[in-house]
Every structure is written in structure tokens, then in C-alpha cells.
Amino acid sequence: MAHAAEHEYTTTGLNHRKLLMWVFLGSDCLFFGALIATYMVYRGQSLVGPYPIDIIDVPLTTVSTFVLLMSSFAMVQALSATNADNKKAIVSWLLATAALGVVFIGFQIFEFNSFKNEGLTLGGNLFGASFFTLTGFHGAHVTLGIIWLVAMAILAAKGRVGSKTALDVELLGLYWHFVDIVWIVIFTLLYLIGGFDVGPAPISGG
Amino acid sequence: MAHETEDTTHHPSFNQYVLIAIILFAITIVEFLLIWDRAGIVDHLGPSKIPLLVLLSAIKFAIVIMFYMHLKFDNRLLGSIFVAGLALAFLVGIAVISTFVGFEGEQRFYAAQNAVPYVEHEAEEESTTSSETATETTETTETETPPVAAGPVTFEISAKGEELAFDTASITADSGAEVTITFTNPASFNQHNLVIVAAGDKDAVASDGIPAGADNDYVQPGDSRVIANTKLLAAGKNGEVTFTAPAAGAYQFVCTFPGHNFTMFGDFTVK
């Protein structure tokens, strides 16, 4: 089944590119961990509004969370199709994943815009600064993933993606699922738990 | 040397992937219903909701990395690398958060106590003198001689440019006199108001004014400690307040915009 020529001999017995991707994802945990910790430190410390309770729309974001989860499902189907050398299915599932990602970004643009109209800005208060930095960097990750997905779909349409290059799609999938799990954390902390935060408690001892 | 073959044989089947997607979807719905208690569905869960929500999202997190990212079927080293990064991220997060919790939840009070007004360094020649005084002394000391008044009297007080300070350090009036204060806000961004309170009350009044919000000019409606106050003035606006000077004693005028009260105040003496 496996041909010796397809295997590189490495000290770990693992493909270098796959190892690299997991190292990258591990380090990206730190990146988002720092931003999430910053959000938690600043949580409830804003002196002026708008506060989360004023603007966070949990039902809307539940829908966009669902969209991102479904994009992960489409992604695993793209990998299955790649292993099965089904060119049409590869292109379709990759584009479906990208499309769901675009819908998610659309929700985020809509959300950012309505927040801005309600007075929440990057420089307005601590909530705005930490919220936009965290969700903005996540949105940037999603956007990068969409570009990667579309590029892969174009390659697949040209017949250059199949079981022999399945690792290319697998690495893309790892990145995409990682972006998904980061959102799982953000959704829980910023929306489900933090979405109902009100303004600051009066300063005691003053 | 033994080497791993690319692991594609143990991947879940299509139906298993569908099942995983349904589970993820169902957990998200449960999470939503948990917090969406405006209809009174799960109000009784109370504070137990937060650990429950964290647990549910951790389950989703684990499902995605184990099945969608194949960590369950892949080489252990890959999982170890990822978990190491995740654990480090947790530790960094806990370290950052506990650094601030070290103030025992009073970091905002600590910050407010130590706040200094933000000063733009506009000109080189002025910066040496003005920046030193601005950062070290927050109380203004320009007008050392308080204007004394008998009968109806008018004071003109202005915010000190862009600073969180008044241009007037103190004013004096006779008890019972009709006092009019015209207040000017020349700032290009900051909003200010001017509130008359008894000496010592300023921080408590300002603190209680925060929840009242801008709509109430950051003054708690019906606050008996407030003797008089102007409207909250947007940048570049001016306002006026007229009141009868209270019994002889020490009073202060203060801006109750959140945070301003620590630097923006002056003495009002009634004789």
C-alpha cells in the first residue's frame, strides 16, 4: 500500500510539516491565551459605556457560532473527499467551508458595525479595546483561512489535489478547526458568560 | 527504523462525522438555553451556570480536537505539543489575572487614586516646565487670592484646557448670597460638569453618579449631598448654575464625570 518513496525518514517518525503545524497551533494557543487573559483582567473595569449588556447580541452570535461549527464539518468532508480522490467533492466541500467562513465574517462585520454605531470603539473604553482586539484577531485568522481554502479549491479544480497530497488539505483542516475551537472559547467567555456584564460597581473606599 | 505511516485508515466515517456535528450543535443549543433565561427557563441554575458553561465549551473543544483534528487517532507527540502550548497559555493567563487580583479586586480604585491627567506635550520650550508641574501636582494653584463676594455674585470657572482640572483653585462667597457660576468647557474631547458639594463628599458623590450615567449628568437623581450642579457639558460648550450659598463652611466644586473627580475639583468657601 505505502510506497517507500513517499516517506521521509525523520527522527520523530512524523512528517515535518504536520509537526510544524501542531507546534504553530500550540503557540497560537499562547497568542489567544494572552488576549483572552487581557479581556478577563479588564472585564468589568470600564468606567464609561457601552457595556456588554448594552450591545452584545447573544442570539445573533449563536447563529454565527453554529455557522462556524458547520464549516468544520464541511472541512472534514473535504479531507475525506481528498483521500477518496473525488475531485468534484473536494472542490465543493472546500468551497462550502470557505462560504460558511465568509458568512461568519459577514456576521462579524455586521456586529462590529452595529457596535461602532452604538458607541463602542477600540479607544473608547477597556471593554471596546479588549473586545475588538480579541475578536478582531480571531476574525483575521478566519479571513486567512478563507483565502487558504479558496486557493486550495482552485488547485483542486485544476486536479492538483488528491490522496497523494492529502496532507496539504489535512494541514489546512487543522488550521481551520483550530480557529473553530478558539471561537468556542471566545463565544463562551465573551458572549455566554460576559455578554450580560453591566457597568462598573461604585468605587468603594473613595 | 520503524516509521509511522500517514494515518488515514482510522478516520471516522461520514456518519460518525455527522453524529459529531449534531453533538456539537446540540451542546451549543444547550449553552444558549442555559443563559437565555429572560423567558425564565433556567433562572434557578444561578451561579452554577458559569462552571457548567465552561465545562460544555471544554467538551466541544475536546470533541473538535480529538475527532475533527484526529488527535485521538494521531501520534501522541502531536497531541503532547498542542497540549503543552495549551497548558502554557493557561498558566500565562492565570499569571496575568492573578497579578491584577493581587490588588484584591481594588485595582480600579488603586488606579483611580494614582491617576494623573493626560497632558499633550505641545511645544518643546514649554514642556520642561509645564509637564513637570502637570504630572507632579494635580491640584491647581494659580489663583491664590480667592475672590470675596457680598450679595449676588458671579464666578467664571473654566476647565483648564485639555486637562482634567479646573482653572480656578478656590472661590469664596457669603452665606445666603445668590451665587452664579458660569462654567466653560474648552476641551476638544472631554465632557465636564461642575457640582457643588460639602468638603469631603466629592468622591462619594462622583462614585454614586456613575450608575446614573450621562443622561443624569453623572449626578445621582435626588442626591441630597449635591448643593447645585451644571449640566454635563460636551466639549466646547458652556453652562450656568445659580444657587444660594449654603451655611458657612468648607465646600468644593468638582467634575463628577467618571474618573475626573480625583483631579478636577476646587475649594468653595462660604463665610
pLDDT score for A188: 92
Confidence of residue B45 (pLDDT cuts 50, 70, 90): low
Say yes or no: B200 contacts chain A, CB-CB below 8 A: no
CB B266 within 8 A of CB B169: yes
Average pLDDT for residues A76-101, to the nearest whole number? 95
* Start-to-end C-alpha separation, chain B: 97
Give the mean pLDDT of B91-118: 70
Residue B122 has what pLDDT? 53
Which of B17, B65, B259 lies closest to A181 in CB terms?
B65
pLDDT, mean of residues A65-76: 94
**Which element (helix H / strand E) includes B265?**
strand B265-270
Give the A window 8-27 contacts with B, CB below 8 Å. 9-10, 12-15, 18-19, 22-23, 25-27
pLDDT > 70 fraction of chain A, expressed in percent and rounded: 93
Q: Residue B150 has what pLDDT?
A: 58
Q: Check which CATH number belongs to the domain holding A70 and give it.
A: 1.20.120.80
Q: Domain for residue B38, yes or no? A: no
The pLDDT score that the predictor gives to residue B137 is: 43
Q: Given this model, what pLDDT does residue A86 score?
A: 93
In the sheet that holds B238-244, the strands lie side by side as: B153-158, B178-184, B238-244
Q: Report whether pLDDT(B125) > 70.
A: no
Residue A148 placed within a domain: yes
Highest-confidence range of A78-92, B119-133, B237-251, by mean pLDDT?
A: A78-92
> Is residue A205 a part of any domain in this protein?
no
A199: Cβ contacts below 8 Å, ≥ 6 apart: A46, A49, A51, B210, B211
Range of the domain at B151: 141-270
- Count how many domains chain A has: 1
* DSSP string covering B216-227: GTTS-TT-TTEE
pLDDT at A25: 96
pLDDT for residue B160: 85
- The answer to whether position A187 is within a domain reads yes
Range in A18-22, B130-134, B249-253, B258-262 the model is least confident about: B130-134
Q: Residue B7 has what pLDDT?
A: 45
- Measured CA to CA, the distance from residue B59 to residue B237 in angstroms comes to 55
pLDDT mean across residues, chain B = 78
- Residue with more model confidence, B237 or A145: A145
B25, part of any domain: no
The pLDDT score that the predictor gives to residue B194 is 92
Residue B259 is assigned to a structural domain of this protein: yes
User: Beta B170-173 vs B265-270: how paired, if at all?
Assistant: parallel
Q: Which of A3-12, B116-125, B161-170 has the lowest mean pLDDT?
A: B116-125
pLDDT tens string B8-36: 446 778 888 899 999 999 999 998 888 87
Q: Domain span at residue A54?
A: 10-196
The verdict on residue A3 lying in a domain is: no
Grid cell listed for B15 = 456518519
Tell whether the model's pLDDT for residue B6 goes beyond 80.
Answer: no
Work out the burial of residue B205: count CB atoms within 10 Å of its CB; fewer than 13 is exposed, 13-18 middle, 19 or more buried: buried
Q: What residues pair up with B184 in beta bridges, in sequence order?
A: B158, B238
Residue A13: what residue type?
Answer: G
Domain tally, chain B? 1
3-state helix, strand, coil in chain A (%, to 5): 75, 0, 25
Residues recorded for chain A: 206
pLDDT digits (tens, 9 = 90+) for A23-51: 999 999 999 999 999 998 888 778 787 88
Residues in chain B: 271
Q: Answer whether residue A108 is part of any domain.
A: yes
CATH number of the domain encompassing residue B201: 2.60.40.420
- Compare A161 and A199 and report the one with higher pLDDT: A161
* Mean pLDDT value of segment A186-199: 86
Give the model's pLDDT for residue B145: 46
For residue A5, being part of any structural domain is answered with: no
Average pLDDT over residues B43-71: 83
> Is B113 a member of any domain?
no
The one-character DSSP state at B189 is S
Average the pLDDT over B81-92 and give the result.
93
Give Cα separations from B23 to A108, B18, B156 (angstroms).
Answer: 24, 9, 68
Alpha-carbon gap, residue B10 to A80, rounded angstroms: 12
* B67 min Cα distance to partner chain A (Å): 9
- Counted across chains A and B, CB pairs separated by less than 8 A come out at 181
pLDDT at position B40 over 60: no
The answer as to whether B65 is a domain residue is no
In this structure, of A42-56, B29-43, B222-236, the range with the lowest mean pLDDT score is B29-43
Residue A1: inside a domain: no
In angstroms, rounded to a whole number, what is the distance separating the alpha carbons of residues A62 and A40? 21
Contact present, A63 and A187 (Cβ < 8 Å): no
Q: Is B173 helix (H, G, I), strand (E, B) or coil?
A: strand
The interface predicted TM-score of the complex, written ipTM, equals 0.85
- Nearest Cβ partner for A33 among B21, B89, B211: B89
Provide the Cα torsion B64, B65, B68, B73; round to 10°: -140
- Interchain CB distance below 8 Å, A47 and B210: yes
Other Cβ atoms closer than 10 A to B209:
28
**Of A128-137, B143-152, B191-200, which range is least confident?**
B143-152
Contact B53 A29 (CB under 8 A): no
Q: Are strands B178-184 and B238-244 parallel, antiparallel or unpaired?
A: antiparallel
User: Could you report the per-residue pLDDT of B127-184, keeping only the tens digit for each?
Assistant: 444 444 444 444 444 444 444 445 788 898 988 888 888 988 888 888 888 899 999 8
Which of A15, A22, A202 is opposite residue B210, by nearest beta carbon? A202
Contacts of B160 by beta carbon, 8 Å cutoff, 6+ apart: B140, B166, B167
- Please report the residues numbered 159 through 188 in chain A whose beta carbons come closer than 8 angstroms to any beta carbon of chain B: 166-167, 170, 173-174, 177-178, 180-181, 184-185, 187-188
Instruction: Supply the pLDDT for residue A14.
Output: 84
In a domain, A206, yes or no: no
E strands, B76-235, are 153-158, 170-173, 178-184, 195-198, 226-229
Q: In whole angstroms, give the CA distance from residue B147 to residue B127.
A: 30
Residue A168 half-sphere exposure toward CB, CA atoms < 13 A:
16
User: Closest approach of chain B CAs to the CA of A113, in angstroms?
Assistant: 22
Give the pLDDT score at B131: 43
